[in-house]
Amino acid sequence: MDIQGLPGRLLADLGPAIASGELPVGTVLRSEELEEQYGVSRTVVREAVRILESMRLVESRRRVGSTVLPKEQWDVFDPLVIRWRLAGADRAAQLRSLGSLRVAVEPAAAALAARQATDDQRRELSALAVELTMTAKAADLEAFLRHDIAFHATVLRASGNEMFAHLGDTVGAVLTGRTEHQLMPHQPRPYAIRLHREVAEAICAGEAEQAEQAMRTIVVGALEELDATLG
């Protein structure tokens, strides 16, 4: 979700404040106070609050306001919630949690993709593996990140499992957060690029076991590197 304009600017303050605990559980956000504090209209406040409600960060009641909800009720898969949590003190726990999710899901998705992928998806993975190799050699982290997000999202879609496919944006938010917070090497490591090629080749060849193993090595390695970096 990419929120533009005044509601987006309001969310850019409120979202991270809730995710970091600066606005703790039970805090009541009142429309009149937000209008005055940010100099925006009631319509802008309502739109921002509506989005926060959709993420289960707040719950609104008439004559009360919008109350910040406990973390257990948040939509923790929402890419914006992930981004806000990664920007705060919860970063390490968030990355480890999402890294564990990737270990559980992506190898299984790769195995399914080897059986279920369409010809177009196989061609797309092959092309993305080439792009990853080229942008890694050029140390173009911005372009590499775009191709890496597309690669993993394509594997998830190619699994044919709609639940896995829905996690594409979640994985993309994780990869983006690792780059933005300088938790990635300045130049992607050659063995990681080789493993991505192996995943693409195995899926294209219909080799489920090899695809699963190569993807498992990628995501387990990423989690181990993260643990070593965060200490």
**If residue 201 lies in a helix (H) or strand (E), which one and from where to where?**
helix 190-205
What residues pair up with 23 in beta bridges, in sequence order? none
Given a contact cutoff of 8 angstroms between Cβ atoms, the answer to whether 174 and 197 are in contact is no
pLDDT of residue 44: 93
> Which residues 6+ apart lie within 8 Å of 146 measured at CB?
none
Which tens digit of pLDDT belongs to each residue from 156-169? 999 999 999 999 99
pLDDT-based confidence at residue 230 (cuts at 50, 70, 90): confident
* pTM > 0.75: yes
Which tens digit of pLDDT belongs to each residue from 177-199? 888 877 777 788 899 999 999 99
Percent of the chain with pLDDT over 70: 98
Whether the per-residue pLDDT at 1 is higher than 60: the answer is: no
User: Domain 5-73: which topology?
Assistant: Arc Repressor Mutant, subunit A (1.10.10)
The DSSP code for 70 is P
Domain boundaries, the chain: 5-73, 79-230
Percent of the chain with pLDDT over 90: 75
Q: How far apart are CA 31 and CA 42, in angstroms?
A: 7
- For the record, the structure tokens of 36 come out as 């005055």
* Residues listed for the chain: 231
- For the record, the structure tokens of 81 come out as 């919630």
Which tens digit of pLDDT belongs to each residue from 106-159? 999 999 999 999 999 999 999 999 999 999 999 899 999 999 999 999 999 999
pLDDT of residue 17: 96
- Right CATH number for 79-230 from 3.40.640.10, 3.40.190.10, 3.20.20.140, 1.20.120.530? 1.20.120.530
